[in-house]
Amino acid sequence: MSAAPKPPVIVWFRQDLRLADNPALGRAVQSGKPVVPVYILDDHTPGPWAPGGASRWWLHHSLAALSGALGDLGCPLILRRGRADVALHALVRETGAEAVVWNRCYEPHAIARDSALKADLKAEGVAVDSFNAALLAEPWTVKTGTGGPYKVFTPFWKAVREGLDPGLPEPAPRHLAALPTPPDSDRLEDWGLLPTRPDWAGGLRDSWTPGEAGARQRLEDFLVQAVARYPEGRDYPAQPLTSHLSPHLHHGEISPRQIWAAARTHGTAPRGAQGGMDGVDSFLRELGWREFCHHLLYHFPFLPERPLNPKFEAFAWDDNAGHLAAWQRGLTGYPIVDAGMRELWATGWMHNRVRMVVGSFLVKHLLLPWTAGQAWFWDTLVDANLANNAAGWQWIAGCGADAAPYFRVFNPVLQGEKFDARGDYVRRWVPELARLPDRVLHQPWTADPITLRAAGVRLGHDYPYPVVEHKAARQRALDTFAAIRDDND
Ligand SMILES: Cc1cc2nc3c(=O)[nH]c(=O)nc-3n(C[C@H](O)[C@H](O)[C@H](O)COP(=O)(O)OP(=O)(O)OC[C@H]3O[C@@H](n4cnc5c(N)ncnc54)[C@H](O)[C@@H]3O)c2cc1C
């Protein structure tokens, strides 16, 4: 007679879609009990912050990759849909699990759900453990001298870096014990995560390889090909000198600890072969911004909805739907802005420098609310992340932590001329302007009729005139932003 199987441990996957350096999975393996890995598609708990269209595309492929990797270890991924608390309770009952483990998420809605769930499961006699798998330093561990949260990046990062030792990442398990009969699972194909517009998905597919193996490859390529030139090169959108790790990080296909360890090993390898620590330090500082954004969201959970600086609550934003649509479609008449918005639509990603330019254009030139930009990014970015997106938009609008001052209005022509001097970025994403000479490429409305004709551009027909005139829009922004400052000072 064979012995009854041990009660399993449920591993609840969320934003940690990987096998390596996954502490919750590691704990389940250590227990020596059968493992039930589950992913629950919970569109209820996040409310308006359920994943947007591009993130859902990513999620589909990332889950397919995770499911394949778990299947190879003989332990199928169980898919369930609905309220996570309800679905998890049901799975505990069905499997007789006596323990549930997960890695922590930091969105306010996730924290509220997970705390309640932990208390309920424990009250029912189920052991629950959660782990840090997503951050170098969890938000409550970093405090100012007076014990409060940081609102300025540089001292925050100094405090995090002092004595930081993330340790070595854990390898992926080589074997998982499974239940003899796995619980029922949904079929991924039935979840409808893929966009109904196939032309959109095509651009995403050409740009990315979601999943743990894709993430590892991106990191390796970046370290070998780009990190040494990162400090000078990271501001130039036509050059592939940033890591493109953001969607992999958001979905937890790679951990910051893995990145930290690989980058430092790379940077300390013999100089010449690898390029030294300058590029590595500058790159790791950007991971620091990710940490800072999560710190802000944890301590100021209203970040995606309300300005951190309360003076901005009364700000007189415009509501011009035509302007918003022109911005979304990349038809503002400012080539660098339009190139960025089209890159976003085509690939689900946009270069950081250009995110700042298009963001400034929306909130300053068009005076449209930062929340409208945040919402569009949420739907179209494959790396849409509540902390980074909200903090990025508040920074741009001047109402966030360590924010850009209100009088900084990026000039889209100068930004284009400085960061895309040869026009490679604009020519790629705004091909109707490709034949214009460099001197007018970033301001086609200044080109004379002969130049326009020679380049095959009919303004107002092939490409729009600017939706607003820069000088007037800048002055309107300065007046409006100064008014709230004066009203409240
Ligand atoms: C308005 C606005 C909205 C943004 N929305 C998001 C978002 O939803 N999701 C997101 O991941 N990033 C967001 N960012 C930050 C940044 O633009 C992206 O993280 C970066 O462009 C991703 O490209 P990369 O992986 O090649 O970055 P790299 O330059 O290679 O940087 C490495 C990693 O550091 C982190 N990082 C880099 N810059 C920042 C930053 N400014 N803030 C926070 N983390 C950073 C990212 O995780 C990134 O993958 C936003 C920035 C702005 C200005």
Per residue of the chain (489 residues), give pLDDT as tens: 556 678 999 999 999 999 999 999 999 999 999 999 999 999 999 999 999 999 999 999 999 999 999 999 999 999 999 999 999 999 999 999 999 999 999 999 999 999 999 999 999 999 999 999 999 999 999 999 999 999 999 999 999 999 898 999 999 999 999 999 999 999 999 999 999 877 787 899 999 999 999 999 999 999 999 999 999 999 999 999 999 999 999 999 999 999 999 999 998 876 544 556 899 999 999 999 999 999 999 999 999 999 999 999 989 999 999 999 999 999 999 999 999 999 999 999 999 999 999 999 999 999 999 999 999 999 999 999 999 999 999 999 999 887 778 788 999 999 999 999 999 999 999 999 999 999 999 999 999 999 999 999 999 999 999 999 999 999 999 999 888 765 544
Nearest CA to ligand 1 atom 19: 246
The verdict on whether residue 244 carries a ligand-binding annotation is yes
Is the Cβ atom of 396 under 6 angstroms away from ligand 1? yes
For 78-96, letters b (16+ CB in 10 Å) and e give bbbeeebbebbbebbeebe
Nearest CA to ligand 1 atom 46: 246
The verdict on whether residue 2 carries a ligand-binding annotation is no
Q: Do domains 9-133 and 310-487 have the same CATH topology?
A: no
Asked if 153 and 292 touch (Cβ cutoff 8 Å), the reply is yes
Nearest CA to ligand 1 atom 18: 352
Cβ neighbours for 20, distance < 8 A, ≥ 6 positions apart: 169, 170, 171, 172, 212, 258
CB atoms within 10 A of CB 470: 17
So which residues are the catalytic ones?
A: 286, 289, 317, 352, 370, 393
Is the Cβ atom of 393 under 6 angstroms away from ligand 1? yes
Q: Which among 250, 388, 408 is the best mutation to test ligand 1's pocket, defined by most ligand atoms within 8 Å of the CB?
A: 388
How far is the centre of ligand 1, averaged over its atoms, from the C-alpha of 284 (Å)?
12
Q: Which among 352, 356, 402 is the best mutation to test ligand 1's pocket, defined by most ligand atoms within 8 Å of the CB?
A: 352
Residue at token pair 């199987």: 5
User: What's the topology of domain 310-487?
Assistant: DNA Cyclobutane Dipyrimidine Photolyase, subunit A; domain 3 (1.10.579)
Is the Cβ atom of 389 under 6 angstroms away from ligand 1? yes
pLDDT at 406: 79
pLDDT at 277: 83
How far is the centre of ligand 1, averaged over its atoms, from the C-alpha of 129 (Å)?
30
Is the Cβ atom of 22 under 6 angstroms away from ligand 1? no
How far is the centre of ligand 1, averaged over its atoms, from the C-alpha of 431 (Å)?
26
Is the Cβ atom of 371 under 6 angstroms away from ligand 1? no
The verdict on whether residue 463 carries a ligand-binding annotation is no
Is the Cβ atom of 392 under 6 angstroms away from ligand 1? yes
Q: Which long-range contacts (CB under 8 A, 24 or more apart) does 65-70 make?
A: 65/17, 65/210, 65/211, 65/212, 65/213, 65/214, 65/253, 66/13, 66/17, 66/18, 66/19, 66/39, 66/211, 66/212, 67/188, 69/19, 69/172, 69/212, 70/19, 70/37, 70/176
Where are the chain's structural domains? 9-133, 135-169+209-299, 310-487
The verdict on whether residue 245 carries a ligand-binding annotation is yes
The verdict on whether residue 222 carries a ligand-binding annotation is no
pLDDT at 489: 46
The Cα–Cα gap between 384 and 388 comes to 8
The verdict on whether residue 242 carries a ligand-binding annotation is yes
Q: Of 181, 193, 235, which Cα lies nearest the Cα of 34? A: 181
Asked if 332 and 413 touch (Cβ cutoff 8 Å), the reply is no
Pick the CATH number of 9-133 from 3.40.50.620, 2.60.40.1080, 3.30.360.10, 3.40.50.970: 3.40.50.620
Is the Cβ atom of 359 under 6 angstroms away from ligand 1? yes
User: What's the topology of domain 135-169+209-299?
Assistant: 1.25.40
pLDDT at 451: 98
The pTM of this model reads 0.97
How far is the centre of ligand 1, averaged over its atoms, from the C-alpha of 187 (Å)?
32
pLDDT at 488: 46
Q: Which long-range contacts (CB under 8 A, 24 or more apart) does 93-97 make?
A: 94/183, 95/7, 95/8, 95/10, 95/36, 95/179, 95/183, 96/7, 96/8, 97/7, 97/8, 97/9, 97/10, 97/36, 97/126
